[in-house]
Structure 1
């Protein structure tokens, strides 16, 4: 029964993060954006095998791309890669160390931002260097801070599944 309760709690948390991504993130209205979809993907992908992590990334990427049809497909590819790699490396990186969790979240968030920027074709426009080297790392750092706090609060839930 505990396993079912853990999955239910995980799904409620993921649902809250997806809702926060589409409702809270636009209300903040700042250039440093917290990527709640990356956090939701990381929460789910550390519990499943790499193939399922890739499918979860594809689904969350499709949700992100639905909001920005100009670069449709870029978030799907980026989130699919992050979901796969996170599921594959879960045992090595998601430990009892909050700093290491924050570094992994930072790298994942920055990677998604950079892949979306360049795959959507906006990476070659004027101002893309500032976006990639200033705003993207700041957004990834904000996502990492929120994610590290979230992972610390939900530590009992985040025990990786056995491979």
Structure 2
């Protein structure tokens, strides 16, 4: 099999696994505000290995899935995920995307930025905005980054990740 095609198939398998984990494992974990966002991890892994247009389109799709589950603020998640997917894909040119710690930092930082955009677009304000950005968003960013580390270590050969920090 052609190596580039094998890499796409392997990435697709990991992304499918993350989608299954998001809908079957995440609801059974601890509080939803602290549990890892598996769809976001999948988006960031895809964005760091794709051109900006494809990453933005994937972000839009992930955002629509998130918006379908919370119709009160429809469109906010699509906007946030699209922006973060595009910027995450563009930022890989600046940083080394084959480093384990850089990937984890991308996931954590991207999730926090996504939450900032999501809260600004959905009209949340006051104390709830501060609590969300200062407590729950960093907590979810850390758990998502830790899970992304686990995924990258388990599938390191598929993602060509260096473990020498």
Using structure 2 for the length normalisation, give the TM-score.
Answer: 0.86
Corresponding residue of 1:84: 86
Deviation at residue 158 of structure 1 after TM alignment: 2.7
**Residues in 2 aligned to 1:66 and 1:159: alpha-carbon distance in whole angstroms:** 34
The number of residue pairs the alignment matches comes to 159
Deviation at residue 155 of structure 1 after TM alignment: 2.7
| Aligned CA-pair RMSD | 1.9
**Residues in 2 aligned to 1:94 and 1:109: alpha-carbon distance in whole angstroms:** 19
**Residues in 1 aligned to 2:150 and 2:87: alpha-carbon distance in whole angstroms:** 22
Structure 2 alignment gaps of length 5 or more = none
Superposition pairs of residues 48-63 of structure 1, within 5 angstroms = 48-63=50-65
Deviation at residue 33 of structure 1 after TM alignment: 2.1
Deviations 1:22-81 (A, max 9, x none): 221111141312111111111111222111111111111111111111111111111111
**Residues in 1 aligned to 2:22 and 2:126: alpha-carbon distance in whole angstroms:** 26
Dislocated runs of 4+, deviation >6 Å: none
Deviation at residue 152 of structure 1 after TM alignment: 2.7
Corresponding residue of 2:25: 24
Structure 1 alignment gaps of length 5 or more = none
Deviation at residue 125 of structure 1 after TM alignment: 5.2
- Change in Cα spacing, 1:141 to 1:79, as seen in structure 2 (3 Å) is same
Deviation at residue 117 of structure 1 after TM alignment: 2.1
Q: Could you tell me whether the CA contact under 8 Å between 2:67 and 2:73 is conserved in 1?
A: yes
**Residues in 2 aligned to 1:6 and 1:95: alpha-carbon distance in whole angstroms:** 15
Q: Could you tell me whether the CA contact under 8 Å between 1:93 and 1:104 is conserved in 2?
A: no
**Residues in 1 aligned to 2:156 and 2:94: alpha-carbon distance in whole angstroms:** 16
- Change in Cα spacing, 1:33 to 1:158, as seen in structure 2 (3 Å) is same
- Change in Cα spacing, 1:51 to 1:72, as seen in structure 2 (3 Å) is same
Deviation at residue 91 of structure 1 after TM alignment: 3.2
Corresponding residue of 1:124: 125
Superposition pairs of residues 139-154 of structure 1, within 5 angstroms = 139-154=140-155
